[in-house]
Amino acid sequence: MWQQLTDWERNNNAICFMVVSTEEVREGLQYYNAFDEDAKNEKDSGYICNIWNVSEVLIMASLKNAYDCIDSDYGLTYENINDMCYDYVVDKLSNKPTTLERGNLWNSETKTFETVKEFLANIKGDKNAS
């Protein structure tokens, strides 16, 4: 793949600055709460399944969705792409309707997940603090 990409860049006077494969998406998502094997027996972990058991078609669809929908102002990073892929895959695998009070959000400052309920409470607390 890399040789073909290098040849394409040379032949088209172009540079590809980001390549994301489905394998990289799986590697990135394997520790997110819905796919974290170490947390599958914990209560309220949100575990769904092993990411390596998710179909290639669904992972590719999540990657295509991220490509189509990502806001470049938000940032074109692997973390942002993985977050979008995670949301897409979890949405497709989950039979439960989502509400604003359910689920988890990744807090990039603390590098941990927090519940939506906690996030909304923190936002309300910040508004009251100012």
Confidence of residue 102 (pLDDT cuts 50, 70, 90): low
Would you place residue 25 in the very low, low, confident or very high pLDDT band (cuts 50, 70, 90)? very high
Residue 52 has what pLDDT? 94
Q: Please compute the mean of the pLDDT values over residues 14-32 and round it to a whole number.
A: 91
Q: 110 or 28, which is more confident?
A: 28
Torsions phi, psi for 45 (to 5 deg): -75, -20
* Alpha-carbon gap, residue 78 to 63, rounded angstroms: 11
pTM summary value = 0.63
Selected residue with higher pLDDT from 84 and 76: 84
With H, G, I as helix, E, B as strand and everything else as coil, classify residue 113: strand
Name the percent of the chain lying above pLDDT 90.
41
Residue spans of beta strands (DSSP E) within 29-110:
104-107
Is the model's pLDDT at 129 over the cut of 50? Answer: no
The residue ranges of every structural domain in the chain are 2-95, 99-130
Average pLDDT value over all residues in the chain: 84
pLDDT score, position 95: 65
How far apart CA 6 and CA 35 sit, in angstroms, is 34
- In whole angstroms, give the CA distance from residue 61 to residue 65: 6
Give bridge partners of residue 114 from the DSSP assignment: 105
Q: Is the pLDDT of residue 11 over 70?
A: yes
